[in-house]
């Protein structure tokens, strides 16, 4: 039988965030009445699925990003306001990320990839004078770099850490 320190009911953004924070110190059980392991056949949750700049900032603070497969078209950076009382239409810039909310909730359990970075000094005997970015899938799915500094170069790469 498994034991948990804390049980959280509801795996929406609030419950998932709390579970992520507490999960670093406690054994947490996150429960939801929706079958989150199944692909939803329809929109279940009442939500527009627009992630506003403040929410984007909060996600960034947790080191999280939005997986591509929860994005839906179009991605929007402007809002049209329609003021019927004064017969005015205006546009202003505001960048939302447009997601499928059900799929987004199911992705919350995914954690970002982790990388270790290796960087070393070498003599600049090839006279490198540019920042160089090297993309080579055999080495990394990120990239490697060369940064010239005085008579030397910094040569580094980032390699994914297996969990």
Mark the segment that binds ligand FAD (CB under 6 A) among 49-57, 59-67, 73-81, 151-159.
Answer: 49-57
Buried b (16+ CB within 10 A) or exposed e, 59-84: beeeebeeeeebeeeeeeeeeeeeee
- Shortest Cβ distance from residue 51 to ligand FAD (Å)? 6
**Contact present, 119 and 154 (Cβ < 8 Å):** yes
- For ligand FAD, the binding residue among 5, 27, 35, 55 (CB under 6 A) is 55
Q: By C-beta, is 110 or 126 nearer to ligand FAD? A: 110
- For ligand FAD, the binding residue among 7, 14, 117, 119 (CB under 6 A) is 14
Q: Is 20 in the site for ligand FAD (CB under 6 A)?
A: no
Q: Is 12 in the site for ligand FAD (CB under 6 A)?
A: yes
Beta-bridge partner residues of 145? 133, 156
Q: Is 9 in the site for ligand FAD (CB under 6 A)?
A: yes
- Shortest Cβ distance from residue 47 to ligand FAD (Å)? 4
User: Token pair for residue 130?
Assistant: 């540019």
Strands, DSSP E only, in the chain?
A: 6-9, 28-31, 50-51, 76-83, 88-98, 115-123, 132-134, 144-149, 152-160
Sheet arrangement for strand 50-51: 50-51, 88-98, 76-83
Q: Is 34 in the site for ligand FAD (CB under 6 A)?
A: yes
Q: Is 30 in the site for ligand FAD (CB under 6 A)?
A: no
User: Token pair for residue 154?
Assistant: 């910094």
Tell me the residue nearest to ligand FAD as measured from the CB: 12
**Positions in the binding site for ligand FAD (CB under 6 A):** 9-15, 31-34, 46-50, 52, 55
């Amino acid at each position: 039988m498994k034991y948990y320190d804390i049980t959280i009911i509801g795996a929406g953004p609030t419950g998932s965030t709390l579970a992520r924070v507490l999960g670093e110190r406690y054994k947490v059980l996150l429960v939801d009445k929706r079958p989150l392991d199944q692909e939803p056949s329809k929109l279940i949750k009442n939500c527009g699925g627009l992630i506003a700049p403040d929410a984007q900032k909060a996600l960034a603070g947790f080191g999280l990003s939005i997986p591509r497969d929860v994005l839906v078209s179009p991605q929007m950076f402007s809002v049209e306001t329609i003021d019927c009382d004064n017969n005015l239409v205006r546009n202003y810039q505001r960048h939302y990320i447009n997601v499928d909310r059900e799929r987004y909730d199911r992705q919350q359990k995914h954690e970002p990839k982790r990388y270790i970075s290796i960087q070393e000094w070498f003599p600049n005997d090839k006279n490198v004078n540019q920042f160089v970015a090297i993309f080579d899938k055999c080495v990394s799915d990120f990239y490697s770099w060369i940064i010239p500094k005085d008579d030397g170069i910094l040569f580094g790469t980032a390699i994914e850490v297996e969990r």
